[in-house]
Structure 1
């Protein structure tokens, strides 16, 4: 097993699991075989992928379920499926990016359209999307023109995209909070601030925000 330089980081469980899965795909042995390596606590069977799963190019982890994007553009899910979160819609193909939340899943297709399931379907007519994100209660889509579309539960403002927000290059979300990184490296936040802990510092040159 190769060794990697690292710094001590602090994660919530869901963020750490996503990080572990991402690391697993970067290991030379795993990248070459396109098979998955798992370790840690298996809540809801999330560490028990389907037997013989190969050709994996991206993985996404929710709280108790996981998704795998295969090289042929199809998606495989496993783990808890209480609401249908680990069961991709029939006929889903042409996928280029996936994301998983608490009990929600989302897929970006090569034609710029989005499929999300089971609780918050993508808005009708949504297109020209280049990146997606999903959390417990809502979804975000970054469009090719640098604008952001949000949908889902807006009880705490996570879906209320700031008026005039533009020049966005990356979006992310966690629980009832949303983040957008702009082309100038600044970060825009909206939604639940969790007593101020979610407000980003006055950073510049930010590439992406990974809440957890």
Structure 2
């Protein structure tokens, strides 16, 4: 666990009672108002973005409209519904990607959504529009016909205050498989949808609400500065450096043991003894936190070493769990600034632009060439590499080049890193076209740059991914000479 930092010599009495810099949960709860603010509320994003989507959208994930031809997009394609013309002069400035849906924030503080709406994650009613079945004489080879128009086309989330009475604006969104949430710069959180578990529907709030169909303020959360979503759980970080978790905790994603008789208590945000934190992140079933002294902690499912741990003999076991936040010593003090994680793998980005990867190898999620696998790679009985539990630095372009990255992203089994000047490198499971590299015969073993007309002259700023699709946001480089010089630079880097 992480100890709460003590205040300076001028600290109040409550802080002084934290012996040796540590504090109990009861101490934190009873002294909350007297604790110092460690984290600042982030400002709303303002940079206008062109939004690109690709992958398999058979469940409306791509947001390209109902036409059956939009179900498979092999390389990044501009979403035509999210342009200034379509948004009434507004621009998209941010997005969050869930398992099968996406949320987008525009410059007027409105949230747009698209994707599968079975769990009400879109925050709007899509029930009145039905799928159009294929015409008997239609040219398309798709047997299922067109998609649900309301789900496959971006629409406004209903019931969110565009600008709150106190002027607060949305500064972050989070999307799980079955739930959506937004964070305002006054620390308030609104959410809608539900959580699911191994047995099916778990619920939204205690036993009171199974599925929340419109945004609802989470009254138990205050002073929040960051959200992080997993498959069916959420983390929240507050200004005091305290982490909260709620949702499904069957793989210890909530950082604590969940007794069956108390399962509905997991539908309320609770702190679990993790303090002095400045950053949080989550994969499907495993989680991360970075403390103010740059220590990295992990907890949750670890059967592929996705939490970067093995047993005392360097082995992994199916169902392996890290039951409470535990320090990853090999990453601490590396100045990690961003972590992205999929179902069974993880990426970490340093302040200097290096990317480390670890976890499952079966579908090439970690981006390490077979000949470069580190000592300690876990292999099955047949000698086949199964996972890399050791955080390993990735190589981009031909060896000898030192390419710096500014962002990382993970889908369930595919991965991305974005260079400091906005090119995307992709790798991992390729059957669904989610890497954006076109039709491929096998999974992508090592980072490969996306080369396509749509994004060729764009500086990509944001990257995200779901189960079988991906989303990127970028700014077009208007200077043609600058844009071409950038392309030439990376052709040389890639060799």
Mark yes or no: TM-score above 0.5.
yes
Structure 1 residue 109, shift from structure 2 partner? 0.8
Larger RCO (CA under 8 A, 6+ residues apart): 2
4+ aligned runs moved over 6 Å, structure 1: 11-17
Alignment counterpart, residue 64 of structure 1, candidates 178, 191, 196: 178
**Equivalent residue in structure 2 for 1:41, among 116, 130, 133:** 116
Describe the SS at the equivalent of 1:97. strand
Alignment RMSD: 3.2
Q: Provide the TM-score with structure 2 as the length reference.
A: 0.37
- Is 1:100 the counterpart of 2:229? The answer is yes
* Distance (Å, rounded) in 2 between the aligned partners of 1:64 and 1:102: 8
**What is the aligned partner in structure 2 of residue 53 from structure 1?**
160
Task: Report how many residues are paired.
Answer: 204
CA radius of gyration, larger in? 2
Partners of 1:59 and 1:21 in 2: CA distance: 10
Q: What secondary structure sits across from 2:119 in the alignment?
A: helix
Task: Give the 5 Å matches for 1:151-190.
Answer: 151-160=299-308, 163-165=329-331, 166-190=334-358
Partner of 1:121: 254
Conserved? CA contact 2:174–2:182, under 8 Å:
yes
Q: How far, CA to CA, are the matches of 1:195 and 1:136 in structure 2? A: 16
Secondary structure of the residue aligned to 1:207 is strand
- Between the aligned partners of 2:203 and 2:278, the Cα distance in structure 1 is 22
1:140 match? 288
The TM-score, its normalising length taken from structure 1, stands at 0.79
Q: Which runs of 5+ in 1 are unaligned?
A: none
Are the aligned partners of 1:181 and 1:206 in contact in 2 as well (CA < 8 Å)?
A: yes
Change (3 A) 1:37 1:6: closer
1:44 is paired with a residue whose SS is coil
Supply the distance in 2 between the matched residues of 1:143 and 1:196 (Cα, whole angstroms).
Answer: 30
Deviations 1:37-74 (A, max 9, x none): 22333231111268522243321111121111133312
CA distance 1:178–1:78, change in 2 (3 Å): same
* Cα distance in structure 2, aligned partners of 1:8 and 1:211: 14
2-side partners of 1:5 and 1:70: how far apart? Answer: 23
Q: How far apart, CA to CA, are the structure 1 residues paired with 2:236 and 2:407?
A: 19
Alpha-carbon separation, structure 2, partners of 1:207 and 1:66: 26
Q: Distance in 1 between matches of 2:179 and 2:102?
A: 12
Cα distance change on mapping 1:5 and 1:44 into 2, 3 Å: closer
Segment drifting more, 42-51 vs 144-153: 42-51
